[in-house]
C-alpha cells in the first residue's frame, strides 16, 4: 500500500499540471480603465475630481450584536429560556465536535465526525492540491487592467495638459476622432493659416501619446497581445464617453458622423 499511494499522487500531480487556464481579454475591466483615463484627460488639470472618482463605497454596517448569551456548556440562551446551538452549529460536524463540549453535543443530538486521520490519505492530498491550484487558476483567468504604471500616468497627464488646446478644434469640427482611437484633421480649410502648423503639431503629439498609452496598458498588464483590443475599446469609449455633443467622429468605414 505504501508503494501505491505515492504512485497515485504522482499521477494526480501530472493531471493537475495539464490543466490549461485560458486568459481572455477582460473587456469590462478595459472599459472601466478607459473611462477612468478619459475622464482624467477631459477634466481640467488640478480641478475637482468627478463623482466617479470621489465617491467611495460606504462601509457595510456590522450586524447588531446577538441577544444570545453564551453558556459554558457550548449552548446559548436567547432570553426566552430556550437553549440553542451557537453559530458553530452551521459548521461541519468535525468543527462542532472540536468547539462544543460533549454534553452540548449530546443535548443537541449531533454525531461527531470521524477523526481526520481515518480519511484516505489520497483524498486529503487531492483536496490540498486542488486548493492550491484552483484559486491561482481563477486569478489568472479573470485579470484586471492596472492603470497605475508610471508611464501610463505620465502619458495621461500629458494628454490632459494638451486637451484644453485641442478642445476648441473639436468644438468647431476642425478635428475629429478616428475609428482606431486617434485624432485627425477633418477640415483644414476651417483653420486660419496662422494656426495650421499649431493644429498639426497638437494632433501629432496627441496621437503619439495615444499610441503610447495603448501599448503601455498592454505591456504593464503583461499581455502585449491585448494592444489592439485596448485600442478598439478606447476608440469606442472616446466617442461614447469623451466626445461632446457636436463633435465629429469616424465610423468603421471612415465616414464622418456628428455626435
Paired sense of beta strands 175-177 and 248-250, if any: parallel
210 in any annotated domain:
yes
Cβ atoms within 10 Å of 145's Cβ, excluding its own: 23
- How is residue 140 written as a grid cell? 489568472
Tell me the average pLDDT of the chain: 74
170 in any annotated domain:
yes
Each residue's pLDDT tens digit, 7-42: 555 555 555 555 555 568 999 999 999 999 999 999
201 in any annotated domain:
yes
| 69-70 sheet: strands from edge to edge | 69-70, 75-77, 83-85
User: What is residue 242's three-state secondary structure?
Assistant: helix
What's the domain range around 247? 150-254
229 in any annotated domain:
yes
**pLDDT score for 244:** 97
- Number of domains the chain is built from: 1
Each residue's pLDDT tens digit, 100-119: 445 554 555 555 554 555 55
Please indicate, yes or no, whether the overall pTM of this predicted structure exceeds 0.75. no
2 in any annotated domain:
no
86 in any annotated domain:
no
64 in any annotated domain:
no
69 in any annotated domain:
no
**pLDDT score for 44:** 78
Instruction: Encode 149-162 in three state secondary structure.
Output: CHHHHHHHHHHHHH
Amino acid at each position: 500500500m505504501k508503494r501505491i499511494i505515492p504512485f497515485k499522487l504522482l499521477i494526480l500531480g501530472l493531471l493537475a499540471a495539464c490543466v490549461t487556464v485560458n486568459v481572455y481579454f477582460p473587456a469590462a475591466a478595459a472599459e472601466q480603465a478607459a473611462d477612468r483615463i478619459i475622464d482624467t484627460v477631459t477634466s481640467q488639470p488640478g480641478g475637482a475630481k468627478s463623482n466617479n472618482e470621489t465617491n467611495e463605497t460606504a462601509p457595510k454596517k456590522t450586524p447588531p450584536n446577538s441577544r444570545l448569551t453564551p453558556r459554558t456548556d457550548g449552548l446559548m440562551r436567547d432570553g426566552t429560556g430556550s437553549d440553542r446551538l451557537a453559530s458553530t452549529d452551521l459548521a461541519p460536524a468535525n468543527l462542532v465536535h472540536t468547539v462544543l463540549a460533549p454534553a452540548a453535543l449530546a443535548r443537541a443530538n449531533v454525531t461527531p465526525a470521524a477523526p481526520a486521520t481515518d480519511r484516505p490519505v489520497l483524498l486529503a492530498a487531492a483536496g490540498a492540491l486542488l486548493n492550491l491550484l484552483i484559486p491561482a487558476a481563477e486569478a489568472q483567468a479573470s485579470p484586471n487592467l492596472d492603470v497605475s504604471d508610471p508611464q501610463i500616468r505620465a502619458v495621461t497627464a500629458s494628454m490632459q495638459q494638451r486637451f484644453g488646446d485641442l478642445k476648441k478644434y473639436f468644438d468647431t469640427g476642425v478635428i475629429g476622432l478616428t475609428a482606431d482611437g486617434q485624432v485627425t484633421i477633418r477640415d483644414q480649410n476651417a483653420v486660419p493659416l496662422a494656426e495650421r502648423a499649431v493644429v498639426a503639431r497638437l494632433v501629432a503629439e496627441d496621437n503619439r501619446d495615444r499610441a503610447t498609452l495603448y501599448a503601455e496598458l498592454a505591456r504593464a498588464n503583461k499581455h502585449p497581445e491585448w494592444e489592439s483590443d485596448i485600442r478598439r475599446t478606447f476608440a469606442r469609449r472616446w466617442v461614447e464617453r469623451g466626445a461632446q455633443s457636436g463633435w465629429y467622429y469616424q465610423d468603421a468605414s471612415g465616414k464622418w458622423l456628428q455626435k
